[in-house]
Structure 1
Amino acid sequence: MNSNWFKFLMKLMKVEYGKKLLLEGVPVIFKKSGAKLVVGENVTIKSSFLSNLVGLYQRTIIIARTPEAEIRIGDNVGISGATIYARKSITIGENTLIGGNAKILDNDFHPIEIEARNADVKEKIGTRPIMIGKNCFIGCNSLILKGTVLGDGCVVGAGAVVSGKFEENCVIAGNPAKVIKRLEISK
């Protein structure tokens, strides 16, 4: 399937996207009726195995799963084989790079309580918005969990498991992720 055909399908699904959207391979992009999915200008979405030499395990998956879900991807963002899955809200600032196989999940996918999980009570799934600032870099195979806030200019190390609020211009790494360095910004 060529990218023009896929862009046509995105328009049918009422996915908003800006000029110069580049699709390398075929991503999985879906939004529930009523949800909002906005992709900025000059965004690159890589979804084929060799489109990123880190080695992608999957196509990029971007899903706004509930009618109230909202995903906003800023201008000049690069995404490689990542999963971005919202039941509430995920915002990704401009000039942010999302490394190979990263996962950005604003929810737990299943209720934590046994009874609710066994009964598959979707209303009991824990959700909290995610905010990723401008000019961030999310390293390959990292996991960004619900409620995370990354200030502008943050760098997330490869394989990090990130939860919480982080000031701008921090390098964050580990499991659980913590600040390991503050970046000096030249003026």
Structure 2
Amino acid sequence: MNSNWFKLLMRVTKVRYGKGLILKGVPVIYNKSGALLTIGDHVVINSSFLSNLVGLYQRTIIMTRTPEAKIEIGNRVGISGATIYARESITIGDNTNIGGNAKILDNDFHPLEIEARNADIKEKIRTRPVTIGKNCFIGCNSIILKGTVLGDGCVVGAGAVVSGVFADNCVIAGNPAKVIKKL
């Protein structure tokens, strides 16, 4: 699919994007009616196997799931084969790079309680906003979980599972992720 056609489709679904958006491959970008999905200026979204040689397992997926959801992606952000999925709110600051196959999720996807899960009660899905500061780097295959706040300049190591609040300029790694260095 030609990226101009895809950008037209994005406008139809009320995805707001700035100037200089570069799409390498065809991402999956879905904005639920009533939700807010904004992409800043000069953002690069890699969604093809050869667009990032770390080895992408999938196309980039950016999705608002509920009418109340909000995803705000800043200026000069790079995204490679990542999933950004919001039921409530995900904010990504300017100049942040999101490595291959990373996942940023503001919810649990399913209720934790057996009865609610078996009855598929969507209202029981727990959510908390995710905020990623400016000038961050999210390593490949990492997972950013609901309620996470990354300060400006944070670096998340490859494969980290991140949950919690982290100050500016931290290197965060591991499962569960913890601060391993202050920059």
Same fold, judged at TM 0.5 (above): yes
State the Cα distance separating 1:171 from its structure 2 match. 0.1
User: How is 1:9-48 mapped onto 2 (pairs within 5 angstroms)?
Assistant: 9-48=9-48
Letter aligned with residue 167 of structure 1:
A
Q: Which residue of 2 aligns with 1:72?
A: 72
SS state of the match for residue 20, structure 2?
coil
Give the TM-score normalised by the residue count of structure 1.
0.98
Letter aligned with residue 156 of structure 1:
V
Task: Work out the CA distance in 1 between the residues paired with 2:54 and 2:137.
Answer: 15
Letter aligned with residue 74 of structure 2:
G
Q: Which residue of 1 aligns with 2:165?
A: 165
User: How is 1:1-187 mapped onto 2 (pairs within 5 angstroms)?
Assistant: 1-183=1-183
Give the TM-score normalised by the residue count of structure 2.
1.00
State the Cα distance separating 1:31 from its structure 2 match. 1.0
Percent of aligned pairs with the same amino acid: 80
Deviations 1:133-178 (A, max 9, x none): 0000000000000000000000000000000000000000000000
Task: Work out the CA distance in 2 between the residues paired with 1:44 and 1:5.
Answer: 17
Task: Work out the CA distance in 1 between the residues paired with 2:64 and 2:182.
Answer: 33
Task: Work out the CA distance in 1 between the residues paired with 2:69 and 2:77.
Answer: 20
Task: Work out the CA distance in 2 between the residues paired with 1:5 and 1:67.
Answer: 25
Deviations 1:1-44 (A, max 9, x none): 01000000000000000000000000000011000000000000
Letter aligned with residue 145 of structure 1:
L
Deviations 1:65-111 (A, max 9, x none): 00000000000000000000000000000000000000000000000
Following TM superposition, the consecutive aligned residue runs of length 4 or more in structure 1 with deviations greater than 2 angstroms are none
Task: Work out the CA distance in 2 between the residues paired with 1:80 and 1:2.
Answer: 19
Aligned pair count? 183
Letter aligned with residue 102 of structure 1:
A
SS state of the match for residue 173, structure 2?
strand
Letter aligned with residue 10 of structure 1:
M
Unaligned runs of 5+ in 2: none
Task: Work out the CA distance in 2 between the residues paired with 1:172 and 1:75.
Answer: 23
